[in-house]
């Protein structure tokens, strides 16, 4: 059989395009902001991870420009060899200080950060206990590791304890509990207090992926651990620059000996070119702004609560109950693939962009529209966007002629 036969038989994309329902790779003709020009139309952006609204901040853009002028457009090598700039080291020091840890390592992407941590820190004879709704980068990181990986039921502390008790039967095996701090599709916050309690009881270590929590949770935006008052109890915290910090890249913080071990053993880090100067400068300036302007976190929480309240009041809209009103990720349950694609299409045509979430990110009948919010959204923008959402859902509920049960 020809290796490429599977590619010729892959027709789902073409089917979606022919039906006018292909939901991906929409082209923007403007910068990422609360409003964008998408395929020639003014569009309110409810699908971005630009949580603090810093991608369009003049200070961040100017910092990136200055970095290019001083250092050029790239580093032409890995951090391990010739690609470490003084600004890489300064950003690492700043992140460690911000998150109250001894040391930090920055990596070229957030995805690679999780690959680097998990493939190096857990080896043969060790066990990784991973929430079964963790991000794909965690899943792939565990696959790169030689450790045994066991998934526990989503946020199920009884199941986690059952697995920890089994691991405790081998006192020579190291155990790492890995969880998203905020789950990126559901907008749920992990049960960190009980994860900490169980880790203490069974001698396990904890790693948090706080990509959607830093800049979002905690009085100072330090994430899930600050939110729960447990900053000293989490061993490793991973974060990305592509969300709160208006850039590209990732970081992990922890004890110096642990970070230094990862720095010298993680193949995804060692064999990748370092983050370009403009991205480092943008992330560093974004961190400065977050530390100087904590009102952005409060405003983000206010906007999120307002949006959740308004969406929940709409008669034809089902909002996923995440158990909190702080997180700026609010999923709208749509059910089938067809209904999800039709709804996303109609919303975009009416000037609101949201992210359709389809299998394998969710199960076949639990598709959703992921809406997300930014500290710089105005009340007027939120009210306009949610008014459009209400109108579109009402029209769809009344339309009995559309076949929503298509499969692609």
Checking if the pLDDT of 16 tops 90, the result is no
Domain ranges for the chain: 9-45+294-398, 58-292
What does the alpha-carbon distance between residue 388 and residue 339 come to, in Å, rounded to a whole number?
17
CATH T-level assignment (fold) for domain 58-292 = 3.40.640
pLDDT tens digit sequence for 235-249:
999 999 999 999 999
The pair of structure tokens assigned to 344 is 């996303």
Per DSSP bridges, beta strands 205-209 and 236-240 are parallel
The pair of structure tokens assigned to 169 is 């039967």
What does the alpha-carbon distance between residue 407 and residue 55 come to, in Å, rounded to a whole number?
37
pLDDT value of residue 338: 87
Checking if the pLDDT of 407 tops 80, the result is no
Classify residue 168 by burial, with Cβ atoms within 10 Å: 0-12, 13-18, 19+.
middle
Residues across the chain: 408
CB 313 within 8 A of CB 123: no
pLDDT value of residue 1: 86
CATH T-level assignment (fold) for domain 9-45+294-398 = 3.90.1150
Nearest-5° angle of CA 264, CA 225, CA 179? 65
Catalytic residues: 184, 212, 243
CB 314 within 8 A of CB 76: no
Checking if the pLDDT of 401 tops 90, the result is no
Residue 404's pLDDT band (cuts 50, 70, 90)? low
Question: What is the average pLDDT across 201-206?
Answer: 98
Candidate from 113-117, 149-153, 259-263, 322-326 with smallest mean pLDDT: 322-326
The pair of structure tokens assigned to 54 is 């810093």
Helix, strand or coil, per DSSP, at residue 255: coil
Question: What is the average pLDDT across 274-289?
Answer: 98
- Chain-wide mean pLDDT for the chain? 95
Checking if the pLDDT of 347 tops 70, the result is yes
Question: What is the average pLDDT across 383-401?
Answer: 89
What is the secondary structure of 13-29 as a DSSP string? Answer: HHHHHHTT---S-PPBS
Chain center to CA of 310: 24
Residue 48's pLDDT band (cuts 50, 70, 90)? very high
What does the alpha-carbon distance between residue 28 and residue 321 come to, in Å, rounded to a whole number?
31
pTM score of the predicted model: 0.95
Count Cα atoms within 13 angstroms, Cβ side, for 310. Answer: 20
């Amino acid at each position: 059989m020809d290796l490429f036969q599977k590619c010729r038989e892959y027709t789902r994309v073409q089917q979606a395009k022919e039906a006018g329902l292909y939901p991906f790779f929409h082209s923007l003709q403007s910068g990422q902001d609360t409003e964008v020009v998408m395929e020639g139309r003014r569009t309110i952006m409810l699908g971005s991870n630009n949580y603090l609204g810093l991608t369009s901040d003049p200070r961040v853009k100017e910092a990136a420009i200055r970095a290019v002028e001083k250092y050029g457009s790239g580093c032409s090598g890995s951090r391990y060899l010739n690609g470490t700039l003084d600004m890489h080291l300064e950003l690492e020091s700043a992140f460690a200080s911000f998150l109250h840890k001894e040391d930090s390592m920055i990596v070229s992407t957030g995805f690679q950060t999780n690959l680097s941590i998990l493939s190096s820190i857990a080896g043969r004879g060790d066990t990784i206990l991973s929430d079964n709704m963790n991000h794909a980068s965690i899943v792939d990181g565990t696959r790169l590791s030689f450790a045994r990986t066991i998934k526990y039921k989503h946020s199920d502390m009884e199941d986690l304890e059952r697995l920890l008790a089994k691991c405790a039967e081998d006192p020579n095996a190291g155990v790492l509990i890995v969880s998203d701090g905020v789950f990126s599709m559901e907008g749920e916050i992990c049960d960190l207090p009980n994860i900490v309690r169980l880790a203490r009881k069974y001698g396990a270590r904890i790693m948090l992926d706080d990509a959607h929590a830093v800049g979002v949770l905690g009085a100072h935006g330090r994430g899930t651990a600050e939110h729960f008052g447990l900053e000293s109890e989490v061993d490793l915290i991973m974060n990305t620059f592509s969300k709160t910090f208006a850039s590209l890249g990732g970081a992990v913080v922890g004890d110096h000996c642990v970070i230094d071990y990862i720095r010298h053993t993680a193949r995804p880090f060692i064999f990748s070119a370092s983050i370009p100067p403009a991205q480092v400068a943008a992330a560093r300036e974004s961190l400065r702004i977050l530390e100087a302007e904590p009102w952005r976190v409060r405003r983000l929480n206010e906007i999120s609560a307002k949006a959740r309240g308004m969406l929940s009041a709409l008669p034809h809209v089902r909002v996923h109950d995440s158990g909190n009103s702080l997180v700026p990720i609010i999923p709208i349950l749509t059910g089938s693939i067809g209904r999800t694609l039709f709804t996303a299409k109609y919303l975009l045509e009416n000037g609101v962009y949201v992210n359709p979430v389809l299998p394998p990110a969710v199960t076949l009948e639990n598709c959703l529209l992921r809406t997300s919010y930014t500290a710089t959204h105005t009340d007027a923008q939120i009210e306009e966007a949610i008014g459009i959402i209400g109108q579109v859902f009402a029209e769809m509920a009344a339309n009995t002629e559309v076949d929503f049960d298509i499969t692609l």
